[in-house]
Amino acid sequence: MFEEFVLAASTADLSEEPAARGHADAVEFRMDLASDPLDRLAGYDGDLPLLVTNRASWEGGEADGLGRYDALSDAIGHDAVAAVDVELAALRGTHPDPVEESHATALRDAAREENVEVVASVHDFESTPEPATLVDLLADAASEGDVGKLATTATAPADALAMIEATHEATAAGHRVATMCMGEPGRHTRAVTPVYGSKIGYAPVDPADATAPGQYPLATLRELVDGLREDGTRE
């Protein structure tokens, strides 16, 4: 699924899928922000494939406890689910609770059996480390998942440059990555890092429901990313 750039419409409401269809390649279903996510998933009959995310509270989301893995295990059994997001800190065992690692790696094994791709993700809600650190994080994340995703917070233009540089380096080193900066000074990275190899972009269908600071509206990001492609067309 992530051979080419995938624009994911990020939402807590799967009934938005028809509105996303014209612009998005997939839907990121933020299960942690949804009510009755498994019921919603069971009733999903949209066209776009789903990337399911159940973001842990310790990584900026709203899902508490290990039960979030049970929900994800159930979710990956649905035909429409093509990818699952798992936090790198859990996969790597760097989270303080060692039980996270066994749950995260078991979920990854189950995903592989279902032919569901794994997005290993890292978020920094405060800052953007220097490029060498970003490249290391991307290499780690890409080795734990099918795609390594890194979202950091830009507080100055140099942070955006660091993310662009790291995206280029990690991609040149053969890692499959998805990158973006959160926050206003890094907003343009969402349009630009795909030029350097980033494989996933996230944008809300309704700008009022952004799932991260600095996201462009879906139609805008589609236009920007396509406009910056060499031939200027959607693949």
Ligand X SMILES: O=C1C[C@@](O)(C(=O)O)C[C@@H](O)[C@@H]1O
In the set 149, 168, 175, 199, the catalytic residue is 149
| Joined tokens for residue 111 | 């995903």
Distance of CA 232 to the CA centre of its chain: 24
DSSP state of 128: -
Residue 40 phi, psi (nearest 5): -60, -40
Position 44 contacts ligand X (CB under 6 A)? no
Q: Which stretch binds ligand X (CB under 6 A): 102-110, 163-171, 207-215, 218-226?
A: 207-215
With a CB cutoff of 8 Å and minimum separation 6, the contacts of 170 are: 134, 135, 138, 139, 142, 148, 177, 179, 197
Active-site residue, 149 included: yes
Name which position in 54, 171, 189, 211 contacts ligand X (CB under 6 A): 211
Q: Are 135 and 173 in contact (CB under 8 A)?
A: yes
Residue 171 is encoded by which pair of tokens? Answer: 């991609």
Residue 171 or 179: which CB sits closer to ligand X? 179
Asked if residue 125 belongs to a known ligand binding site, the reply is: no
Contacts of 135 (CB under 8 A, 6+ apart): 166, 169, 170, 173
Told to judge if 123 belongs to the known catalytic residues of this protein, a careful annotator would answer yes
Instruction: Tell me if 215 contacts ligand X by CB under 6 A.
Output: yes
According to the binding rule CB under 6 A, does residue 59 interact with ligand X?
Answer: no
Q: Does 34 bind ligand X (CB under 6 A)?
A: no
Active-site entry in 23, 123, 168, 175: 123
- Overall size of the chain counted in residues: 235
Q: How far is the CB of 231 from ligand X (least distance, A)?
A: 26
Binding-site residue numbers are 28-30, 55, 190, 211, 215
The binding site for ligand X (CB under 6 A) comprises: 10, 28, 30, 53, 85, 121, 149, 151, 180, 182, 202, 211-212, 215
